[in-house]
Amino acid sequence: MPCERKPMRYGHSEGHTEVCFDDTGRYIVTCGNDGDVRIWESLDDDDPKFITVGEKAYSLALKKGKLVTASSNNTVQIHTFPDGEPDGILTRFTTNATHVTFNSSGSRVAAGSSDFMVKVVEVSDSSQQKTLRGHEAPVLSVSFDPTDEFLASASCDGSVVVWNIEEQTPAISWPLLQKTSDVSNAKSLCRLAFQPAAGKLLAVPVETRVHLYERRSWEHVGTLSDELLTQPINVVAWSPCGRFLAAGSVGGSLAVWDASSKLCLERQKHEKGFTVCSLAWHPSGTQIAYTDTEGCLGLTEKGQMEVNARHKQK
């Protein structure tokens, strides 16, 4: 039985758009090229609250009442949530930050930027920062290991690097991506992700497949693919339980796998074929929100996930 997909909603002006849920799952939160963060009570919300964070908003992350955004003024800002009150600047770069993310406890934020740097910042004291240097082109994405020991990053220089955060040195580096000089020219945003909870796996989108690497040994232990995925995968996102992995691609394909069996349980196509540039699971694991490069927001209901998994394993 296929997942229910609701009609998409216009959220932001044309361009890169991101989405996340708050910790309770009550709100869907998006940001986009218009510089606004929108707070939706549901996909049917005709008057979402909005916060203007800059001329453009490139990325956002939300955890424990703190909203962090990367905007066009080359800063990573923090606001209270859901009130939207400014709460200071976490860090600055010499050019725009491209991706921000929280660690699992909400105590740290990682940010990658177009000036090739990755920073890890303590939320309670922004003067406590670690800078990870080694990329030779803009950073595409960052992801914390759930134990806070490692941070993974992907770059336009073609590399995916896993850093030891405390030592500020690479634990391993793989030449996996096509090289380019700028995020806007990259074939994929390569939004990689560590598996939550135990964090045994790191999922990295590489062309039309997802590579799975085992934490600490860093061995390539599996590949996820599907015939629907004929264009590069842009973004991957783990379900809160860590069992399922969702992917969105250039050209608008969506797929969900059971990571242990490597079975593709769901596959869908964007209703207009636009590129999917962000994915987020509802905390309950029953919905996936996604956004596209035209500024629109979509939602799929995942209530059949466990049923499909059991059926396909028989």
Range of the domain at 91: 10-313
Work out the mean pLDDT of the chain and round it to a whole number: 93
Q: Is residue 183 part of a domain?
A: yes
End-to-end CA distance of the chain: 16
Q: Is residue 1 part of a domain?
A: no
Q: Is residue 3 part of a domain?
A: no
Distance in angstroms (rounded) separating the CA atoms of residues 170 and 162: 6
β-strands 36-40, 28-31 pairing: antiparallel
Q: Is residue 236 part of a domain?
A: yes
Q: What is the per-residue pLDDT across 218-246, written as a single tens digit (0 to 9) for each?
A: 999 999 999 999 999 999 999 999 999 99
Q: Is residue 59 part of a domain?
A: yes
Burial of 276 (0-12, 13-18, 19+ CB in 10 A): buried
Between 202 and 3, the higher pLDDT residue? 202
304 has pLDDT over 50? no
Residue 309 backbone phi and psi in degrees, to 5: -65, -45
Q: What is the per-residue pLDDT across 65-108, written as a single tens digit (0 to 9) for each?
A: 999 999 999 999 999 999 999 999 999 999 999 999 999 999 99
- How many domains in the chain? 1
Question: What H or E segment, with its residue span, contains residue 309?
Answer: helix 305-313
Question: Which pLDDT does position 59 carry in this prediction?
Answer: 98
Amino acid at site 7 = P
pLDDT band at residue 305 under the 50/70/90 scheme: very low
Q: Is residue 4 part of a domain?
A: no
User: Residue 198 corresponds to which tokens in the numbers above?
Assistant: 């135990």
Q: Is residue 2 part of a domain?
A: no
Q: Is residue 5 part of a domain?
A: no
pLDDT band at residue 301 under the 50/70/90 scheme: confident
**CATH classification of the domain holding 196:** 2.130.10.10
User: Residue 167 corresponds to which tokens in the numbers above?
Assistant: 């030592």
